[in-house]
Structure 1
Amino acid sequence: MVDVSFLAGGGEMGALIRSHDWTVHPLGNPDGWPQALRTAIRLILNSRHQLCVFWGKDGIWFYNDAYRQTLTDERHPSSLGLPAQQVWPEIWDEIGPQIAQVMSGGNATWHENQHLVMRRDGRDEDTYWTYSYGPIDDRSAPGGVGGVLVVCTETTEQVLVSMRAMEERQSMAELFEQAPSFMAMLRGPEHVFELANPGYIRLVGEREVLGRTVADALPDAAAQGFVDLLDVVYESGMPYTATATPFAMQPAPDAPVRQFYLDFVYQPIKDSRGEVIGIFVEGTDATERTRAENALRASEARLRALNADLELQVAHRMHGRARTWQLSTDIMGVLNAEGIFELSNPAWQAILGWSEETIVRTSFFDFLHPDDLARTRVAFARAIELGEPALRFENRYRHAAGGYRWLSWVAIPEDDKIYCSARDITAEKEATESLARAEAALRQAQKMEAVGQLTGGIAHDFNNLLGGIMGAMEAARAKLDQGKPEEVPRYLELSETALRRAASLTQRLLAFSRQQTLDPRPTNINRLVAGMEDLIRRTIGPSIHLKVIRATDLWSTLVDPPQLESALLNLCINARDAMPEGGHLTIETANHVLGERSAATCELEPGPYVSLCVTDTGTGMTPDVIARAFDPFFTTKPIGQGTGLGLSMIYGFARQSGGQVRIHSEPGAGSTFCIYLPSHQAGAPDKPTVQPARPPQPVRQSETILVVEDEPSIRELVCEILADTGYTVLQADDGDAGLAILQSDVPIDLLVSDVGLPGSMNGREMADQARITRPGLKILFMTGYAEHSTVGSGQLESDMHVLIKPFSLDTLRQRIRDILFGPG
């Protein structure tokens, strides 16, 4: 009796382990597994934490449902029971030594926020994990350790959030460094210094403040009530603005106490819920100004007698500050609530060419670039109404001589004014745009190189085909001149073969360019594959084992069945050529629902898709070959054994059908090609509809056909073959001439027309005009190019048909017969 009760439960992974075929696995049937392994498996299956087990010297891998949520299609469910190095090749250099340490009897390991580059959805992804490796005791194992128990948690999101927060703090610190006023950022109700710019450090003296509370770092400030004031702002959530507030401080233990006067604002910082989480401190040293004002008030009684001397003193004291205002290379100004700069420094004229007189009577919105107007209005309103500062706000200002300059602003609101400074960043912006233009030029050059390769390949193949046709025709003419007509058919067959190859080449080019004419129909791919299975087996030969895996309840898709059959056969032939010594070929269908992330990886819209995958065990492909696999005329096959258009045709067909083709391959490990096609709600027919047999219809002399074709040789051949068949034939060489006949009283049973016609209308436009007076007119379009604007993608009206050029005359005769009399 086999006892596998330890595998009971465990959700999806428990069921997967129970259903796995262990008879061919090195571990054998579960009832023979070591007790330590059985206990570990039962532990992880019944845990809701992310757990997995590496067992034995090869590290055979087991995992539970919680861990399965971190895996993508590359590893689940295929990795169950595989050796650890095969499951995790890309991170083996990191985790391999850790597993070996535990297996050798070493201590358990612990790793916090370990960086690991994992392969997910076909690409490398930076991830972070906190995990431990612990030994699983097994007396029968070497060293007494049978395996490794892994307890882990993916911390990628938390680490990235932490990194972004650190970057934002660094950016804010850089802004603080450049500000001319003193600034500090306090965090929490204890008012802990998080940031302090050089201006703040100069104010309080060279002392350590970061990470300390205001009360601890600045006891002088606490004693003078500034901490109490911070508490009020933090608790009320209301800003506090002060002007000329006295403040005494001893900058150093052996230095004298200094008396300051400060203009400052305490601005509460709120989170998304409106709760205060900190306070922004910004201000200027107003000592000189306040002392001057105090001196003026104290000296008012002596003003008349000392007026001349007092004016001189004030001028000297204000000279330094005015000189800074005058010589600054940055724009400075004081903006009022009406949007007028009441004060502006000379840098306005140096950078933008505007005089102070112009600025003081003009709203600053009149200087803005139209594209920046709306967002600047929003920032201005928030500063005036909510008191929110603007840091590194960028917009464009008009220059007096024309054009615009980019400016980066720091704007701090106080009362009903905004104190602003701006740096000219036009040169930086232009350098960035120049780099973007250079990159665009490089991409264009690469596109032109690809076009050159494409045209060169087309010319090479068509020259070969034309050479075959010309040679065959010359040989046929020579045989006729020699009086040997019986040998002519052989050369005509060679010419026809070359013509068919040219038509196939054109069709593949149209498929690659997504311009071929498709006939999409609701299709069940399972039935399509079943219908081709015998053909595929004969094509790949007996040395290759074919396996077909059909998904149950496979969705339908809207696709051109013959084109999909051609694509599948092409992939199977490529797989056969990649396995010259034989191997295994697997065709598999599946349903997929692509989310935002997976769809973006596949360059598709999110939604339901059906996949058709062909997997071989052949030579595989290098990354360089995969990157060029869909390029037209690119092939790794020897000269003469491939045109290099097969995969490009499949790619173009899939993209034109609203889908995609993806390649997964490694050298020596085989290849998988997957065609993804959008699902279609309407189901495909269970089997093709069989038309009842009808007796052949004789051609009656009363059927009249109008042929409209601008190419004289084609028009002459079509008219001649139709006349020989017994029809009455009319002809025209452009749309205008054809419409004139169609609008006459001449009876016409069928219009045969090229789509691309010279003159004022194409073939579709001519047919639409004709149906105004002949609503029941049957129409056959001849075209070598899918002109969507004319024939339409599945938008043809009833009794409108399409025949793709080039075509044989027998095909034309049969198609016209079917249109006029019905198939039969």
Structure 2
Amino acid sequence: MTSSFGFLTGGGLMGEHIAAHDWSATPLGPIPSWPSALRIALGSVLNSKFPNFLCWGPELISFHNDAYLPILGLKTALGRPFREVWGEAWDTVGPIAERAWAGEACYFEDLPVTSTRLGYPAQHHYSFSYSPVRDEDGQVAGILCTVIETTGKVRAIDELRRLNDSLSHQVAAHAADRDRLWRISPDVMAAASLATGRFLTVNPAFTEAFGWSAEEAITRPFMEMVHPDDREDVAVHMGILAQGTPLVGYQTRVLHKNGSHRWVQWTLSPEGELLYGVARDITAEKQQADALRQAEEALRQSQKMEAVGQLTGGLAHDFNNMLAGVAGHLELMKLRLRMGQTGDLPARIDAALGVTQRAASLTHRLLAFSRRQALDPKPTSVNALVMSMVDLVKRSSGPSITLRTQLHSAPWTTLCDPNQLESALLNLANNARDAMPEGGVIVIETENAVISPLQAGRYGDLKAGEYVLVTVRDSGAGMPPDVLARAFDPFFTTKPMGQGTGLGLSMVYGFARQSGGHVRIDSMPGKGTEVRMLLPRLVAEAPQPEVADGDAPLPAASRKGTVLVVDDEAEIRCVMAEVLRLQGYTVMEAADAPQALRQLQERGRGGRPDMLVTDIGLPNGMNGRQLADQVRMLWPQIPVLLVTGYAESTVMRNDTLPAQMELLTKPFAMTALVKKVGAMLGAGTGASVSSGANSGAADEVPA
């Protein structure tokens, strides 16, 4: 229910109760009428891990988060005036609330409050702050209370003080013969109670190191003097000490009286209920180590920026060449048309398209490394894919290279993007070729692999499980250790400027990781290189081989149906719409999601489209995936084709798209668009052709 109100997101149980509450009976009125200041404040309260209580309006209508429920006990507070909720304690908290409503923030520590929250009058202690909450005009519109119950702490302190008096006499007896060393030692020395976690006595070096006097040290829990980030670890080690195990060289940060934190190395020895410790300030050593790390990081950043310059230089060189090729062919076609010479236009068009494909391949490599490319995963037979590439690899490798395949007799099926796997294998084969200028052997091997948890550690954060292993080996020069260590670095290439961007292995790495697998390289100078790529197993039937599209001509203009095309790039939208119209489709166009939804509303329920084709990255508050979800609320079975050149993880929320929803990556051939649209309209339940008066269950709006 909270999905209808964004500010309640993450609000837990109370977020659901707020969404379900009848607010029309309160001075606040229904939720849609609430001011933005209340929504913002309430969203912060609900998402806080601290117990928070919010009062709003002159009546101080009450809200609270899940963490506040234990403080309420048997009380109910939601939607009630603050005074009604805590009426029995109003003499104590009422004046504080009035001060906050007047604009004064208040803080109290360990304040005793008598209430009936457990069904009977009882005194509890709280540390809390009351803060005024202002509206858009700067006027106080509410009160925010952040509260922590400290009843247990107050009672424990009283008990611990009594215990402290008893234990102090014991410590004094043990320390009598060590008093001189105690006073003159430059190291911090202390005795503490394991039961209470408090210092019982400290030597003068403690005050010199941390600024706290001996009296201040023994009147506050040691944990309050520990850096907040270290407290959990200190608690764990206190448990170890309680079992009688001493600690040597234990490091933590201790609060200095001036507000800074000092790094301290402890030697701690438990003895019965007592704990003896000696500490040395190592802050200077830590600062020196941090300074060294910062210097090393600055050096790495400098090297990285130098490598970025090399990368961008290579990219600029390649893209300038490609742009020059496209522009040259277009100018030549314009000149030919002016002269009436159209005979070679198809060849010029094909040449320009070829250059754009090279540019698209380069951008796909960049996206693959960053793991942000739009993948189209399918059940894939690795053996069939390798065999389909044998001729291509042989031609690209040249006559001096021998290609061998060692394929598993029954390999498992994997779920991956077959086009990206082909590109990865071709990159590995080309790298192997370049490592053997005098000739050699390339071996492509497939096998099934079960990765145990211990083996998974060799691949970083790879999960244990079943994988298909694809290995590419060569008999080339191999890599020295310094090159091997940077092989996957996108800013690293051993090739001269302009002869490579250094993205080949980076693309392989990004593709494998994005597919849920991993890749590693083993290489030694003079002994060749072996690249092992793991892809997760898919428990499914082996896929049927697909017939390559090639450059088939567009089918005849005999298609029927209505297609809604949504893209904010006018040029792309117009081209897609025109191509679909040439095939016989009726095409609706929109530049963004709001415009598309208005068109659908104007057509009415009976004039539904047969298919939605939308870009993912749309402007004006709603992306293409969200538009698809909105349209499917009206027509659940309508086919949806998502078009993208950059698939952000926040947009592509699921690893697998829902049924009758597919992905097409820019740039794409118009034949691919026509084939996708035709296949989806012919296969889905939403393939009925619109006639302006469609009806039936598929067209009904869900209740």
TM range (shorter): 0.5 to 0.7
Which residues in structure 2 correspond to 1:256-655 (within 5 Å)? 325-335=182-192, 341-373=199-231, 376=234, 389-412=246-269, 417-537=274-394, 539-540=396-397, 543-603=400-460, 604-632=462-490, 644-655=502-513
Point out which structure has higher relative CO (alpha carbons under 8 A, 6+ apart): 2
Deviation at 1:498, TM superposition (A): 1.6
Give the conservation status (yes or no) of the 8 Å contact 1:334–1:418.
Answer: yes
Amino acid aligned to 1:514: R
Aligned residue for 2:379, secondary structure, equals strand
Instruction: Answer yes or no: is 1:722 the counterpart of 2:583.
Output: no
Change (3 A) 1:773 1:635: same
Deviation (angstroms), 1:767: 1.0
Offset at residue 595 of structure 1 (A) = 3.8
The aligned counterpart of 2:666 is 805
Say which SS state the counterpart of residue 748 (structure 1) adopts. coil
1:773-792 deviation per Cα after TM superposition (whole angstroms, max 9, x unaligned): 12222222221122343345
Q: 1:619 and 1:727 mapped to 2: Cα distance? A: 57
Report the Cα distance in structure 2 between the residues aligned to 1:640 and 1:423, rounded to whole angstroms: 57
* Contact 2:206/2:212 (<8 A) preserved: yes
Q: In structure 2, what is the equivalent of residue 699 of structure 1?
A: 558
Q: Secondary structure at the match of 1:743?
A: helix
State the 1:757 CA deviation.
0.4
TM-score (norm 1): 0.54
Q: CA 1:462 to 1:421, structure 2 compared with 1: closer, same or farther past 3 Å?
A: same
* SS in structure 2 at match of 1:654: helix
Shift of 1:743: 3.4
Alignment of structure 1 residues 80-229 onto 2, 5 Å = none
Q: How many angstroms apart in 2 are the aligned matches of 1:494 and 1:682?
A: 41
Q: Distance in 2 between matches of 1:764 and 1:405?
A: 52
Q: Which AA in structure 1 matches 2:210?
A: L
The DSSP-based 3-state class of the residue aligned with 1:329 is coil
User: Residues 425 and 467 (structure 1 numbering): CA distance in 2 closer, same or farther, change over 3 Å?
Assistant: same
Task: Please say if residues 367 and 373 of structure 2, whose CA atoms lie closer than 8 Å, have aligned partners that are also in contact.
Answer: yes
Letter in 1 for 2:407: R
* Equivalent position SS for 1:593: strand
Change (3 A) 1:451 1:736: farther
Deviates more, 1:604-613 or 1:337-346: 337-346
Instruction: Return the alpha-carbon distance in structure 2 between the equivalents of residues 397 and 643 of structure 1.
Output: 50
Letter in 1 for 2:626: E
1:670 aligns with 2:528: yes
**Within the alignment, does 1:754 sit opposite 2:612 as a pair?**
no
Structure 1 stretches of 5 or more lacking a match? 1-262, 266-282, 290-320, 691-695
**Is contact 1:616–1:671 with CA below 8 Å preserved after alignment?**
yes
2:216 maps to a residue whose letter is: T
CA–CA separation in structure 1 for the residues paired with 2:591 and 2:459: 46
How many residues were matched structurally? Answer: 503
Query: Could you list the per-position Cα deviations for residues 650-675 of structure 1 after superposition, in whole angstroms to 9, with x for gaps in the alignment?
Result: 23222222223333344444333332
Contact 1:555/1:683, CA 8 A, preserved across alignment = no
Cα gap change, 1:493 to 1:633, in 2 (>3 Å)? farther
Distance 1:341 1:635 in 2: 60
Counterpart secondary structure, 2:292:
helix
Output the CA distance in 2 between the equivalents of 1:617 and 1:471. Answer: 42
State the AA in 2 paired with 1:467.
A
Residue 743 of structure 1 contacts residue 773 of structure 1 at CA under 8 Å; is this kept in 2?
A: no
Shift of 1:536: 4.1
Q: Tell me, yes or no, if structure 1 residue 763 matches structure 2 residue 621.
A: no
Distance 1:779 1:533, change over 3 A: same
Q: In 1, distance between residues paired with 2:437 and 2:389?
A: 22
Residue by residue, what CA displacement relative to the aligned partner does 1:768-822 show, whole Å, maximum 9, x if unpaired? 0011112222222221122343345542222222222112333333332333335
- Matches of 2:197 and 2:669 in 1, distance apart? 78
Stretch of structure 1 that moved more, 400-409 or 775-784? 400-409
**2:414–2:535 Cα contact (<8 Å) kept:** yes
Q: Which residue of 2 aligns with 1:241?
A: none
- Alpha carbons of 1:742 and 1:616: their partners in 2 closer, same or farther (altered >3 Å)? same
Which residue of structure 1 aligns with residue 141 of structure 2?
none
1:682 maps to 2:540 = yes
Q: Secondary structure at the match of 2:258?
A: coil
Q: 1:362 to 1:725 in 2, by over 3 A?
A: closer
Deviation at 1:762, TM superposition (A): 0.2
Checking the alignment, whether the CA contact within 8 Å between 2:394 and 2:403 is kept in structure 1 is yes
Change (3 A) 1:667 1:459: same
2-structure distance, mates of 1:324, 1:579: 73
Offset at residue 450 of structure 1 (A): 4.1
Q: CA deviation at 1:759?
A: 0.6
Letter in 1 for 2:352: S
What do you get for the CA RMSD once the two structures are aligned?
3.7
* CA drift at 1:512: 2.4
Tell whether 2:676 aligns with 1:818.
Answer: no
**AA aligned opposite 2:558:** V
Deviation at 1:469, TM superposition (A): 1.5
Q: Deviations over 1:5-57 (max 9, x none)?
A: xxxxxxxxxxxxxxxxxxxxxxxxxxxxxxxxxxxxxxxxxxxxxxxxxxxxx
Q: Within 5 A, what are the aligned runs for 1:31-46?
A: none
Separation in structure 2 between the aligned mates of residue 631 and residue 817 of structure 1, nearest angstrom = 42
Partner of 1:776: 637
Q: Tell me if structure 2 keeps the 8 A contact 1:523–1:683.
A: no
CA shift in 2, pair 1:394/1:530, >3 Å? closer
Partners of 1:477 and 1:749 lie apart in 2 by 39
Question: Percent of aligned pairs with the same residue?
Answer: 48
SS in structure 2 of the partner of residue 680 of structure 1? coil
Q: Structure 2 unaligned runs (5+)? A: 1-170, 549-554, 685-703
Please give the per-residue CA displacement for 1:606-645, whole angstroms capped at 9, x wherever unaligned: 3333222223334444444444444448655678775654
1:250-272: CA deviations, max 9, x gaps? xxxxxxxxxxxxx9x9xxxxxxx
Structure of larger gyration radius: 1
User: Does the CA-based 8 Å contact 1:585-1:616 persist in structure 2?
Assistant: yes
- What amino acid sits opposite 2:520 in the alignment? R
1:381 and 1:572 map into 2 onto residues whose CA distance is: 57
Q: What amino acid sits opposite 1:770 in the alignment?
A: V
